[in-house]
Structures are given as C-alpha cells and as structure tokens.
Structure 1
C-alpha cells in the first residue's frame, strides 16, 4: 500500500473526531452532513456535485480500503466462481488452475462463498458431476448447513429427494446423509424415522453425525429424543467436548440454568476440558432471559478462576449489550478487555458493533473500530464492506463511498439494501439525481429492492426535476425484474404525468396497476379524469369514472359534475345519455344523480337536455327535491333562457313555498345574465315574503351595476344591504376600491346619495375611503391608519391590500414599501399581482435596483411580470 494512503487512512481512523468534523471540510470543499440533505429544488444554494473524478485524497482513502478488502479474497477461487456464474459455467476444466477435486478443496470452496448460496450450489452440482469425484458425507453436510443457515429448507428438501432417487449408497453412506440432511432441513420426524431404520438394520451414525443430529434435535426442541440419542452416543464412546456443548445448550433451552452451572462446574472438578464456547452458551441463555446481573457475575467468576477461554463469552456479552441498547457499556467492556487481556473479537462481533453504532450515528467510534480491525489484521467480509460504505455516506464523504461502491463488483462483494438506500438518499439530497437513478437500477440488478422511503425520495426527485421518462423507465424496469414498487409511488408518478399533461402515459401506468390487481386512490383517478376532460377525450373520461366506481371509490360531487359537464359539451348527446343510463343502472333512480346531470347540462349550455332529464325524473315517479328545482332553474338561467326561467320559477311557486335558496339562485342567475331590473324585482319580492337572500346576491348586483357604470344604483344597493342589518363584504368593498381607482364617478355617486339617503357611520367611513382612492382627498395618513379606516368598512383581504398597494405605489412608493413589509410581517403571503404592482411602482419612480430585486424575488417564487 502506498505510504501516503496509509498516512491518510491512519489519520482518518486514529483521529475520529477530526474525521467527522474536519477531514471532510479539508478533503471536500462542498461536503455536507446528514442534517443538510435538502432536496435541490427546495434549496437552490445546493449545486449538484459530480463524482466521476474524485479528488486525489479521496482516491487515496478509497484505495486504502480497497486494498484492505482484497486481503480477504482468493483470486483462484474468485475466478472459478466467475466462470460458474457466466454462460460458460460448464467449462471449468479448461481453466489452467490446476484443479484437484478433493474433499478438502470442495469444502474450502463452499466455505469461501458461504454467503452466496446460489454460487455454492452451482459449484456443488458441478463437482458432483465430475467423473473423478463423488461427494462425501462432509461435503453434503457442509452444503446442508449453508442451506439451513439461509432458511432454504425447500431447496434442501429438493436436494435430498434428488439424492434419494440417485441412491449413491455404493459410493457414500446413503442413510447417514439422509438422516443429517433431513435433520438440518427441519424434518426431524423424518430424520428420526430414518435413524430408527438404520438401527434396525444394524447401521449407526459416526461421532460427527451423532453430534450434528443431536444439535438439530436440541434446536427443534425434541428433548426426549435428545436423552435417548445422548445415551446411545455415550454407550458408543463418542462423548467429547462437543457433547458437553450440546448438553449445555439443551439445558439452557429448557431454562435449567442452575443445573447448567452445576454441570459446568462438575466438568471442571473432573478435570474435563471446558471450552469457551460452553461458557458462552450459558451467558447467552441467561442474557436472553434478561438475567444480565447473573451473567455478569458468572463472567467475573470465571475471569478470576481462569482456565477457561473467555473470548466467545465476551463476544456474546457484547452482542447482548448491543441488543438491549447499552452501546456505551458494550464499547467500554470491549476496550477494557482489549487493553487488559488483548481480547480480539471475531469478524462477526466487529461487524455487529460497527453496524449498531452506524445506525446510532456514532461515527467517531466507528472510525476507532475500523482502525482497530485493520491494525489487528482481521480480514474483512461483505458485511464489513457494507458498513464502511454506510459510514462514508453518513460522514458526507460520498466521493470515497462511490469509488468503493464502483469497485465492489471487482472485489467480489455485493452491497446490501442499506448501502443502496444510503447512497441513493445521499445522492438525491446532494442534487445528483442521475447518479442516484443509475444506482437504483444497479440495486435492482443485484436483487435488492430499496425501501419504500428511498424509492419515494428518488421518485420525488425525478418527478420534481421533470425526469418523467427516467421515472417511467425505472418503474418498467422494476416490473421486469419482478419487483413491485410501492403503490403510492405509482400514484405519485401518475399525478406528475398529469401535471405535465402526459395523460396517455398516466393511463398506461394505471393499466399496469390494473393488470397487477392493484387499486389506486380516488385522488389519482381524479387527476386522470380531470386531465382527459381537458383534452376532450369523453370516451376515456366516462371509462375512468365507471372504473373508479367499480373499484369502490365514490367520486366527489365536483368531479362527477365536471365529467357530466364535459360530456354535455360534446356535439353528440349520446355520450351524455349513455352515462346517465349507466349511473341510473348502478344506483337506481337516485334523485341526486338526476340533479348532477341537470347541473352538467346547465354548465354545458344545453338546457334542453336538462329539461329532458327533469321530465325523465318525473316520468319515473321521482319527485323533484329543492336541489332539483335549484339546478334546473340555474340550468335555464346559465343558458340565457330568461323567459323559461321566469316561467319555471312561477311553476315552482305553485308546488312549494319559495325559500332563500330559490330566491338567491334566481337573483344571482339574473345578475349574471345582465338583467339587473328583473334581479331587483325578485329581490324585493323576497324581502316582501320575509326571505333574506344570500350575500352573493348583493355582491353580484353591485358588480353588475359597477360594470354598467351605474354607480348610483350600486350605492343604493349597498344602503339597502346595511338597512337590512348586514355588513359590507370584502368583495363589495374591493369592487368599489377597484372602480374608484379608475373613475371619479363612484365618489360623485356617493356624494349624490348623501342628499337622498340617510348617511350612517359605516357609509360615512366608506365615503372617506372612496374619496381617497378617487384622489378627492390627500392620502397623508400613515399606512396603519389607512388599514384601520378600511377595516372599519369591510374585512381586509389580499385583494384589498393589492388595491391599497396600487394606490400608494402611484404617488407614495415609500408607503407602498412599508405596506408590503407589514403584509409579510402579518403572515400574509403576496401573490403574483402583489409583486407585479410593487415592481411597476418601483420602476415608475426610478428605483431600478429595488425593482430588479423585487422582480428577482418574484421569479424565485415562480411568478413573472
């Protein structure tokens, strides 16, 4: 290893606190901590980094760790497995590797790749088919143990069945292998039956097989059978230190801890060999029963007594402390034993410590442990590499993490899902979405599907940056690999496609979900339906609405009405009638369905269809409710069928008493049709009958009068409103401010009204505001006072502030700026018109720098002048 890389690595590992706080700052000018991972779109200051060309220092660190990982590799073994996993896997014999197929060689190969079950099985199968080799009991037991550890009992059962069919008993001890195989596969009843047949035929297991079988029976809880086999084993003279270990394990599994301690002490008194593993089993059993105090005292007792190797028990003690979250105590114990007793944990214990500490974000301690492993010359494995990658991701040293990640395939190591999650999350947070996308696809190829949160983060980033094609490829790729992304991700993608007006693609993704029998939410259907409504695809709109209902969703009234309205706007009325029939067949002759279709006919400008639906309702004996009369009335008014509306209104009055809703609907409809005189007549009739119409009636009437420049009538309407005991609404007040800015006729109309109508305090205050906006009086008051005066007339909203801002920006730009700041202080968020008014005011008064600053802020918020 290069001296410089050793120095860099040692510096990083021997000074862990500087590693976390200073090294990344020194090595990477744009480093970041885990707390600063903010999506790029939400934090414009983040500039996506490129990791294609890491700095020399990063390269040195990565090379240092890469060299360490290589110490655990065997190039010849790797080459054999590479060929096995390639298309020409059968042609191993052509390799010039000097292969000598023996039991020892096969066992070494299987153990070397024990974490890669498929590769082990390929080699085991290939070796068994060579003419110069036959598998032994040892090789079968080795592969069974690997399959058992991976919980691949079904695969083990297939292997046993295959072995049973071949009946290779003339080459191997057929019955022994079946007994051990079924025992390790968890088929203990079958194993016991086969063992009984062996004994009946005068055959028996050897010492190793007895111990493997006994251990499987203990794990399965067959304690009665254990006693019988234990007696047989001792009778045959097979008892050894492994037997003691299995007996101890059996006692602990049965909760016989007092007997277990006595058994171990008895062994020591008799001068038997007491292994460290024996003590570790007892410590493990006590800890699992949460008897930590007793386990600790036992460890202390044997430390003082001596004569028993304590390393295995130390490893169990550290593991159990970690499992209950006592990280500081576990680390303290580790360092104490290492310094006083030169205790060196196994690779598994180091990995456990490091993994737990990484999850707790205790990165300095991780640095210490990694240094300790390297100095102790412990060969790392796949778990260690994954932990190192996670460490560099969390420390913000992504250059190093990515270089190691890219070398992982060359090193024969496979990143796990946690590593992929860390890398993808960090890359997305750093704005490097393309790199994260590539890593995600790689993880799928490796057989790992990222967690839902990670997939969502990447999908959000792709959708936010508009990379919808990549998002589409990612989803289709994951489906090809038989991975099912979270349903929420599909829905998010469909909505993003709809926002980008790619409704056809969204519909295709929905089809994929339907094929997989997945049901999307009603919101997703709403997005698609609304989208196809815009594009004029009535056929798809109807199909999606029906499908939505078939999936158990109830469309919102707004959506339902929108679909009907869209269908009604089409030239061919058959779609409208087909949809009506479908809905009636689904829900029966529900009056609400009829009302929706009448409403849609009105908004679609087809009152004759509305009439037809209304008559159909009566034909089937459905009595129109109040809502039916209201929507039918609105249908006629929206289509400017004023005479028909008046006639229908009279017809309603014969069937039911006219209430607030009907009067209000009639007045609003007449105002929007520009029939002010008719609207006033209906309004008076409502008052005469004691009905208080809605505020919208007065608002629409004032709006109509103002649009016709009939400000005298508008002022009279406002006075009538106040006489009825109601206050001026924001809409009415804002309308008067708007027209006062453009013409002095509003002020003159108000002055004339003072001669005719009795002035109230409210109308007097309103007159002052109108006068100020009409330039009839000087606006010398402070901004706060102007706000207070207006608020006495009507409630101030954002539109009011915009009108006031516009007035002030004409002649009092400083006051306009004060008002803008006051709005922000009050938590009122400016809209596009707010910025537009202020920018134009600043430019008009020659304040170009301030105007440009305002325009820049406006653009950052997504608004344009």
Structure 2
C-alpha cells in the first residue's frame, strides 16, 4: 500500500493508546513482536542520530509547548523508550507532563503503564520502579485511581513488608523524619507514604497528617493535594489537622477559594475549625494581597469566639508591610498593645524593616528604642534591617556603631549583616575597609556567599582595579561558590568600561558555554 513506516508506527501506537479501558496489564508485549520492536529501534535512529540531540529537542518542545500534535509527542516517547540506556526519569516526566497539559490524561496513564512494562523487561528492581512510577503519577497530576490496577496494588502490598518488617518501627521512623525534616528527597517521603497506605490495618490519620505536613514544608504543595485524594480513595477520612494542611497547600498554590471550600468539608465531617485553620486562611489571603479580606476574617473570628493569637496578627502585619501599608501596620501594633496580645521581636522587626524600605530610617530607629524600652530584645534580623536602612542612605558610621552594639549584646552578625556592610563600603569606594569586614567575617566562621563576592568584585570594578576583581572571582570559584549571571555581568561591565573588549567577549562566551543563565 506504500504507507510510510513512521506513519504506520504512529497509527499503531495511536490504536494502542486508545484502548485504555482494557484491564492492566494491557498485552502490549503481544503486539510488540520482534519485527515491530526492531523496526522501531531502527527508525528511532532518525531524524536524531545523537541521543543528546533528541533529548534536548524533547526538553525544548516541553518548555515551549511546541509539539505539532499528540502523534509528535507519542513518537518522541516511543523513541525514548527504546533507547539504551533509558533516558533520565526527569526527561520522561517532562514529556508526560506536556502530554497532560494537552489534556490527554488517559494517554498519560497508558504511557506510564508502558514505562512500567519496559522497565520490568529491563530488570529494574520492583521497589525502585514503584517509586519511579509513583513519581511520574505525582509529577503529571494524573488521578492515581486510574493507574491502580490489581497487579500494581498487590505488588506494592508485597513490597510494603520490606525493609520494615515491624509496623511500629516504620511508623516511628516516619514520625522521626517528619519532626526532624530529614527526608532524603521527595521520593523518600512518597515511598513511606505508599507503604503506609497498604498497611493492614491502616495507620492512625495523625501519622498520615504528619507526613503530609512534612511534604508541604518541602514546598511540594500540589503533591500533598494529590496524596490527600489518594487517601480518600482508600477510605481514609481526614481530620481537622489534615484539612488544615490541605488549606495551607491551596493557599500557597494561590487558590484561597479552594481553601475556604475546605471549611465546608470540616463542618460536614462534624469538626469545628480551630484558630490554626483560620490563621492559615488569613495567611492565604495575605499571600494573595487581599489584606482587607484578611482583616475582615479576623474580625469574624473574634465575633464567633475565636481569639486570634500573636501569629495571626503577625501574619496580617507582615502582609500590610509587604504591600507598603506600614502606617496601617503600626496602627494595628498600637491596637495590639491595648489588648491582651503579647508583642514580640518578630512583629517589631517586620515593621522596622518596612519603615527602612520606606526610607523612614529615623522612625525605625525610634521604634527600635521603644521596643528595647519595653524589654523586647532585638535579634540579628532586627539589627540587620536597621543597618541596611542606614547604609542605603550612606549613614555607614551609624551602621558601624550599631554593629558594635550588636557585638556588645552578644548578638552574632550573620552572612546578611556582613553582606550589607561589604556592599555599602564597596559602593563608597572604601575597599580596604570592605576587605577588613570580609576577613572579619571569615574569622568568625561565616562563609561568604555569592552576594559577598559579587559586592567585592563590583567594588574593584568601580575603582577600575580589574586584576583584583578577577582575583576575587577566581577565589570565589576555588572556594566552591559558583559564579552566577550577576558575577559574570559585573566583570563584563568592568572590562567594557576599561575598554578591554576581548576579555569581555571571552567571559561572555565562557558564560554561554557554562550555561550560566
């Protein structure tokens, strides 16, 4: 009939994908005869002779969403599936995510099954493979129930017996990891979650909540949402604390509306939202910039008998400061003083920082004095904010006095405090003094970071001391602190101003070759 092989392969692949309703495992191997596989592997060599070239193309298409159609993406997936060795899990995840964004969810599920079969044929260990497939499902936000066949679930239950033969031992390990935040990575946490999910009887909901909270602290908010749905599919009812974690995740995903809808779920389950739940919603409204909504919510909380605590008020103060409403934040602070709320250093530090950013450094200094007169001791954050404000206005002598005061009070400066001083001194052209602060920093056991080195490099460039700038740049590399785009840009700018264009071009090409972006 004259059909081209590549078109025929896409048609066959399309037929396989469309039969997603068949029970897993779909007999894909029955279709993948020697002839088909060998023909595909042969065709997989073109049009990409180089594996890296193909994978780069896949990444580019995924990022720019420039696939011609579904067939284009499927062709690349099958080519990757027949590579030896298999590409990284990250590359498969990116491609599956791109197909999910095209709303071909059933296709994604089938492709994950194909990945499972291929990995089993290549002798991948089952526990590792379970984690990989779990990661694929989570990353592309595909409903887990669509993938959980009898084969998958029974295999997981079998593997759930190891490496923890003792149920209590595993749960204790989960609690310890959650409290100390010592999970190796997301996969480690997901693996423990899956083992817990297939225990008989199921663990207490509190243990699941602890684990979800830990994953949320790792900032994998969408993962927590997906895991909560999985718990529900296993008949596990969340409690008010689980739902509070879920609200927090929705708020960080900029879906406060979903967070409010969870309140209805809490009431439906017979629970009462506590002040932590409501404070989480206050924080979500503040993150979205809806400070007036947050204030109204606090007022409603008070009317219904929920007493907002210092953390709730601190959340609103922080939100007000972030949108430049420092005056309103100070009025709220005065209101708190009249009430039974205990002011703390965090509240004052947020307002002092905002005042400094509003160029009201003198007012900030007065508030610092007032704070100390009330017996509230400033910390390194408070001092750093004021030092930054003073330095921004060239009042570096007052900043130095404040630094000495810090040291007398046994408050150790941190890397940010030193960076502020180094940057200011460099901008003032006081390179010797900046170098002394740099040395003092090292003597106190504080490692300089990119900001420190970039400030010094910039200082030398401003004084046309390019040799010293390059020397600092090289020291930065030797100390294991990788230069970023700012480091290169400062040096390139320095060379251009010194009319040393060849060196500027050399650095520009080096920057491009190292993919510093």
Residue 259 of structure 1: aligned partner: 296
Structure 1 or 2, whichever has the larger Rg, is 1
Residue 459 of structure 1: aligned partner: 495
Q: Secondary structure at the match of 2:228?
A: helix
Among 281, 284, 288, which residue is 2:315 paired with? 281
Q: Note if 1:195 corresponds to 2:233.
A: no
Q: 1:477 to 1:157 in 2, by over 3 A?
A: same
Among 291, 299, 312, which residue is 2:333 paired with? 299
Q: 1:399 to 1:282 in 2, by over 3 A?
A: same
Residue 440 of structure 1: aligned partner: 473
Give distance in 2, aligned partners of 1:157 and 1:342: 43
Q: Is 1:207–1:233's contact at 8 Å kept on the other side of the alignment? A: yes
Unaligned runs of 5+ in 2: 1-162
Q: 1:407 to 1:377 in 2, by over 3 A?
A: closer
Among 367, 370, 382, which residue is 2:400 paired with? 367
- Deviation by residue 1:88-135 (Cα, 9 ceiling, x = unmatched): xxxxxxxxxxxxxxxxxxxxxxxxxxxxxxxxxxxxxxxxx9999985
Residue 71 of structure 1: aligned partner: none
Q: Secondary structure at the match of 2:394?
A: coil
- Deviation by residue 1:529-564 (Cα, 9 ceiling, x = unmatched): xxxxxxxxxxxxxxxxxxxxxxxxxxxxxxxxxxxx
Unaligned runs of 5+ in 1: 1-128, 147-154, 485-865
Q: Note if 1:353 corresponds to 2:391.
A: no
Residue 225 of structure 1, CA deviation: 3.9
1:722-801 paired onto structure 2 within 5 Å: none
Give distance in 1, aligned partners of 2:504 and 2:318: 48
Aligned CA RMSD, in angstroms, stands at 4.7
Give distance in 2, aligned partners of 1:429 and 1:286: 37
Residue 11 of structure 2: aligned partner: none
- Deviation by residue 1:390-434 (Cα, 9 ceiling, x = unmatched): 344456554454355357567654434442233223334556543
Q: Is 1:425–1:457's contact at 8 Å kept on the other side of the alignment? A: no
Residue 303 of structure 1, CA deviation: 1.9
Residue 226 of structure 1: aligned partner: 259
Q: 1:407 to 1:375 in 2, by over 3 A?
A: closer
Give distance in 1, aligned partners of 2:242 and 2:434: 45
Residue 383 of structure 1, CA deviation: 1.7
Q: 1:240 to 1:164 in 2, by over 3 A?
A: closer
Give distance in 2, aligned partners of 1:264 and 1:375: 43
Give distance in 2, aligned partners of 1:244 and 1:441: 51
Among 401, 422, 431, which residue is 2:455 paired with? 422
- Deviation by residue 1:572-597 (Cα, 9 ceiling, x = unmatched): xxxxxxxxxxxxxxxxxxxxxxxxxx
Q: Secondary structure at the match of 2:370?
A: helix
1:131-146 paired onto structure 2 within 5 Å: 135-137=173-175, 139-140=177-178, 143=181
Q: Is 2:256–2:285's contact at 8 Å kept on the other side of the alignment? A: no
Give distance in 1, aligned partners of 2:316 and 2:508: 50
Residue 204 of structure 1, CA deviation: 4.9
Give distance in 1, aligned partners of 2:513 and 2:192: 35
Residue 178 of structure 1, CA deviation: 6.5
- Deviation by residue 1:815-838 (Cα, 9 ceiling, x = unmatched): xxxxxxxxxxxxxxxxxxxxxxxx
Give distance in 2, aligned partners of 1:362 and 1:310: 28
Residue 247 of structure 2: aligned partner: 214
1:52-451 paired onto structure 2 within 5 Å: 135-137=173-175, 139-140=177-178, 143=181, 176=209, 179-180=212-213, 183=216, 188=221, 190-204=223-237, 209-227=242-260, 229-230=262-263, 241-250=275-284, 252=286, 253=288, 254=290, 255-263=292-300, 265-266=302-303, 274-288=308-322, 291-338=325-372, 340-394=373-427, 398-403=431-436, 405=438, 413-428=446-461, 432-444=465-477, 445-449=480-484, 450-451=486-487
Q: Is 2:247–2:281's contact at 8 Å kept on the other side of the alignment? A: no
Q: 1:368 to 1:169 in 2, by over 3 A?
A: farther
Residue 585 of structure 1: aligned partner: none
Give distance in 2, aligned partners of 1:241 and 1:258: 14
Give distance in 2, aligned partners of 1:371 and 1:230: 50
Q: 1:404 to 1:309 in 2, by over 3 A?
A: closer
Give distance in 1, aligned partners of 2:492 and 2:252: 41
Q: Secondary structure at the match of 1:136?
A: helix
Q: 1:233 to 1:318 in 2, by over 3 A?
A: farther
Residue 228 of structure 1, CA deviation: 5.0
Q: Is 1:241–1:274's contact at 8 Å kept on the other side of the alignment? A: yes
Residue 226 of structure 1, CA deviation: 2.7
Give distance in 1, aligned partners of 2:270 and 2:297: 24
Residue 439 of structure 1, CA deviation: 0.5
Residue 194 of structure 1, CA deviation: 2.8
Residue 455 of structure 1, CA deviation: 0.8
Q: Is 1:417–1:448's contact at 8 Å kept on the other side of the alignment? A: yes
Residue 324 of structure 1, CA deviation: 3.4
Residue 262 of structure 1, CA deviation: 1.7
Q: 1:400 to 1:414 in 2, by over 3 A?
A: same
Q: Is 1:358–1:366's contact at 8 Å kept on the other side of the alignment? A: yes
Q: Is 1:393–1:423's contact at 8 Å kept on the other side of the alignment? A: yes
Q: Is 2:209–2:241's contact at 8 Å kept on the other side of the alignment? A: no
Q: 1:412 to 1:221 in 2, by over 3 A?
A: same
Q: Is 1:277–1:312's contact at 8 Å kept on the other side of the alignment? A: no
Q: 1:135 to 1:168 in 2, by over 3 A?
A: farther
Give distance in 2, aligned partners of 1:197 and 1:179: 12
Q: 1:194 to 1:262 in 2, by over 3 A?
A: same
Q: 1:422 to 1:130 in 2, by over 3 A?
A: farther
Q: 1:323 to 1:205 in 2, by over 3 A?
A: farther
Question: Which structure's relative contact order is higher, taking Cα pairs within 8 Å and 6+ residues apart?
Answer: 1
Residue 27 of structure 2: aligned partner: none
Give distance in 2, aligned partners of 1:141 and 1:287: 31
Q: 1:194 to 1:247 in 2, by over 3 A?
A: same
Residue 446 of structure 1, CA deviation: 0.7
TM-score (norm 2): 0.52
Give distance in 1, aligned partners of 2:285 and 2:493: 49
Give distance in 2, aligned partners of 1:140 and 1:237: 25
Q: Is 1:437–1:458's contact at 8 Å kept on the other side of the alignment? A: no
- Deviation by residue 1:6-50 (Cα, 9 ceiling, x = unmatched): xxxxxxxxxxxxxxxxxxxxxxxxxxxxxxxxxxxxxxxxxxxxx
